[in-house]
């Protein structure tokens, strides 16, 4: 059914439903059962190790949809983000209307209709302490300003990284590859050690691979050994094919 401007009224109503339901969901501390009720079967879980997991979920409207990524520990959300983005061929009139729907709920930008991010810092401290009890604490002090963005990308539980070399992912480097390479080119292994003890399984594997080039202390070598044997699935590129396997599989692919 078409309305003014040739827009599909049913699609716009579906978009309004997404805005209202997702907007209410992210306006308060997010709960798994409420998220499941909003997205239904559009749900994927990935084990991060140490009792944590990443959940990717989607709520589809007519002209646009909302994508939610959260990190969970003991069934509690400790960080997450939400992006509401236009469909590939959204008419300008629909974009304007849906942007207006989101305007009071989230930041409006030219790239996305709306985006938001949240963290539970107290729970994040618990998650970190739990992981560090096995992998060791990261180096003391601050990360250098020119390395911080790469470190954050490689340790974030929300980052969907893929282990691989610069030329193993078609025309593009796998997510995380260039960030890890830049850290490996630094004289100080501290940022890579921080990634080695971080929340991302693929980030830890990248760090393990690049730290082989450094003369690191014994406690870091012990952490590298633990990372190689953790029973956590790792996304990597084998040849030109995406795969999921062990840290040892991914390290062999990186070495090849």
Domain contains 206? yes
Going by the DSSP 8-state scheme, the letter that residue 234 receives in this structure is: E
Residue 10 shares a structural domain with residue 83: yes
- Its pTM stands at 0.90
Cβ–Cβ < 8 Å for 209, 224: no
Residue 116 shares a structural domain with residue 141: no
Q: Span 3-11, mean pLDDT? A: 76
Q: Span 17-40, mean pLDDT? A: 87
Q: What is the model's pLDDT at position 168?
A: 60
Query: Any alpha helices (H) in the chain, and if so which ranges?
Result: 9-27, 32-39, 92-102, 121-135, 145-155, 177-184, 190-196, 201-211, 218-229, 247-255
Instruction: Give the sheet arrangement for strand 64-73, strand by strand.
Output: 43-49, 52-60, 64-73, 76-86, 114-119
Give the CA-trace dihedral at 162, 166, 167, 172, to 10 degrees.
Answer: 70
Radius of gyration, CA atoms only, the chain = 20
Residue 22 shares a structural domain with residue 50: yes
Reported as a single tens digit per residue, the pLDDT across 128-158 is 999 999 999 998 888 999 999 999 999 999 9
Domain contains 132? no
Which of residues 99, 122, 145 is at a domain's end?
Answer: 122
| pLDDT of residue 10 exceeding 60 | yes
Residue 11 shares a structural domain with residue 109: yes
| pLDDT of residue 80 exceeding 60 | yes
| pLDDT of residue 2 exceeding 60 | no
Kindly state the helix (H) or strand (E) to which residue 59 belongs, with its residue range. strand 52-60
Tally of domains in the chain: 2
State the residue range of the domain holding 235. 137-255
Residue 101 shares a structural domain with residue 14: yes
Domain contains 128? no
- For residue 60 the two structure tokens come to 């589809």
**Crossing angle between the packed helical segments 32-39 and 9-27, to the nearest 10 degrees:** 170
Confidence of residue 161 (pLDDT cuts 50, 70, 90): very high
Cβ–Cβ < 8 Å for 105, 27: yes
Q: What is the model's pLDDT at position 31?
A: 86
Domain contains 131? no
In the block, residue with structure tokens 């002209």: 63
Q: Span 18-45, mean pLDDT? A: 88
Beta-carbon contacts of 98 under 8 Å, excluding residues fewer than 6 positions away, are 12, 15, 19, 61, 63, 64, 84, 86, 90, 113
Which of residues 122, 147, 167 is at a domain's end?
Answer: 122
Residue 110 shares a structural domain with residue 151: no
Residue 116 shares a structural domain with residue 177: no
Reported as a single tens digit per residue, the pLDDT across 81-134 is 988 888 767 888 888 888 888 876 665 565 567 777 888 999 999 999 999 999
Domain contains 129? no
Which of residues 93, 122, 151 is at a domain's end?
Answer: 122
């Amino acid at each position: 059914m078409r309305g003014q401007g040739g827009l599909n009224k049913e699609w716009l109503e579906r978009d309004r439903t997404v805005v209202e339901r997702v907007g209410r969901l992210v306006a308060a501390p997010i709960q798994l059962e409420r998220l499941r009720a909003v997205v239904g079967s559009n749900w994927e879980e990935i084990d991060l190790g140490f009792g944590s997991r990443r959940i990717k979920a989607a709520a589809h409207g007519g002209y646009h949809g909302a994508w939610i990524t959260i990190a969970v520990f003991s069934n509690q959300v400790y960080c997450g983000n939400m992006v509401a983005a236009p469909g590939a061929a959204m008419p300008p009139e629909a974009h304007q209307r849906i942007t207006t729907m989101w305007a009071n709920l989230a930041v409006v930008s030219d790239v996305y209709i709306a985006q938001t991010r949240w963290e539970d810092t107290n729970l994040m401290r618990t998650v970190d302490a739990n992981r560090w009890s096995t992998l060791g604490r990261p180096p003391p002090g601050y990360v250098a300003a020119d390395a911080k963005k790469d470190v954050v990308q490689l340790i974030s539980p929300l980052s969907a990284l893929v282990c691989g070399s610069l030329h193993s992912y078609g025309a593009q480097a796998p997510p995380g590859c260039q960030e890890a390479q830049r850290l490996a080119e630094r004289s100080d292994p501290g940022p890579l050690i921080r990634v080695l003890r971080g929340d991302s399984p693929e980030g830890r594997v990248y760090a393990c691979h690049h730290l082989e080039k450094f003369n690191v202390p014994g406690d870091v070598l012990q952490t590298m050994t633990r990372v190689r044997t953790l029973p956590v699935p790792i996304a990597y590129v084998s040849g030109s094919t995406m795969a999921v396997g062990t840290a040892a599989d991914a390290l062999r692919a990186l070495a090849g």
